[in-house]
Amino acid sequence: MTLPESRFDYEAPVPDAGELGVVHFIAIGGAGMSGVARVMLAQGLTVTGSDARDSGVVTALAAAGAQVWIGHAAAHVDVADTVVISSAIREDNAELATARDRGLRVLHRSQALAATMSGASCRIAVAGANGKTTTTALFAHVLTALVQDPSFVVGGELIGQGPDLGGNARWGVGPHYLVEADESDGSFLVYRPHVAIVTSVQPDHLDYYGSAEVVVEAYRAFVSTIAAAGVLVVCLDDPGAADLGAWARAQGLRVVGYGTDPAADVRITQLSSAGLSSSATVRVGTTDYPLELPLPGDYNVRNAAAVVAAGAVGLGLDPGEIVRALREFRGVRRRFEHQGTVQGVDVVDDYAHNPAKVAAVVSTGRRIADERGARFVAVFQPHLFSRTREFAAGFGAALSAADVVRVLDVYAAREDPVPGVSGALVADAVRSVAPDRDVRFIPDSQELLDDLECLVAPGDLVCFIGAGDVNDLGPVLIRRLAATGTAPS
């Protein structure tokens, strides 16, 4: 079995960052692209970029020294030596087409990131269908607290605490360099980590891979890139990750398992959650360590246990110091992020975009709402037509535990519309699982906000879910409810 063809050769040698010259980023404001740009700026490289719209991220990059244009134009690559893109950038983009015509070096975002890692003697990569952003963020927090001057790039914005955390990237001169390794397009093969975490292996990104079997093959290829004498850390509670660990062990690789499974090297016991926090006991060897995490959900305890396993076994850090550092974690934007409370209504936002992630978010929201005797209102925006088509039934099952479900239309991202595929498929799937559920497909965001403004009542927990622009709606709802003076009862 072979992996899908790509525009990029992820097995080719990666140039050192110092060889890249002037680096131009197309869509520089993206979650992944902006982190690489920040590190390159910190390394002293000349960085330019363009983006379709202005944002706080774009403004911050400009303040850090990047020259940024709003809108795309061929002239933006006039002084570039290297152009960096993500898989979402199409070949007919004016800047990319010009770069190709001029024979400029074109790198995938992951290759550009790998170029910045050339001087790191301890490379750490976190992969997985679910939980990789939060796990990477937790690990970044721990490394910043416990080791000397680490570097990291995370696919989400850390909620900062002091000058060394906040944002999605940090450049340090220490030996440790931590990255979130995105599996969506096969680009996680470039990093050659010494320590790798795989949180889960599940069918996703089938628009690229085509089948679940090829997804498994891709993760095996990722494991095969781990450096000699390196360590693979896997979640034994996830069947796909557990199987990957067994396969890796058979290849002679050192494997460390974590989770509630009795066979785990780092075992979770006494797991509990209350409100927006959770706790557990984490056993490393024969010693138990109390873990108190300011994040809700069993899945986040597993993410934290991954950090304990990789930090203690992979890096030799003290487990007690790791769990103490984890208590101070502030969170990640768009990962069950509390956006505000108004008139007794709590509004949160989450980036979940595959069925397993959505199920975890809904389970957490359901528990919190039950604790307070209130309703959980889930507002879901499907991401990608291909994913919606493949997993509509799974999304329906995941959302059916909410008291109220509202579904927006599909956020297309890099895809063209697919006839017959819309958010209505997900709403219909919820009804098929829970016929009595209050569910509506509302493709217009303003109509949706009108509906929510009339619907919500004091005590309700409203969660906006999805990887598109649905996160913009929470603050608008908060402003609307504040303007009315009272939420409906």
Q: Which of 180, 183, 337, 390 is catalytic?
A: 180
Residue 471 backbone phi and psi in degrees, to 5:
-65, -20
Closest-CA residue to 380 (of 422, 319, 332, 423)? 423
In angstroms, the CA 5 to CA 41 distance is: 32
8 A C-beta contact, residue 37 and residue 26: no
Residue carrying structure tokens 């980590």: 193
User: In the chain, how long is the greatest CA-to-CA distance?
Assistant: 64
Q: Kindly name the residue from 116, 132, 337, 357 that is annotated as catalytic.
A: 132
The one catalytic residue among 48, 98, 133, 144: 133
Is 132 assigned a catalytic role?
A: yes
Please answer whether residues 186 and 218 qualify as being in contact, where contact means their C-beta atoms are separated by less than 8 angstroms: yes
**Is 133 labeled as catalytic in the residue annotation?**
yes
3-class secondary-structure state, position 155? strand
Catalytic residue positions, numbered: 132-133, 180
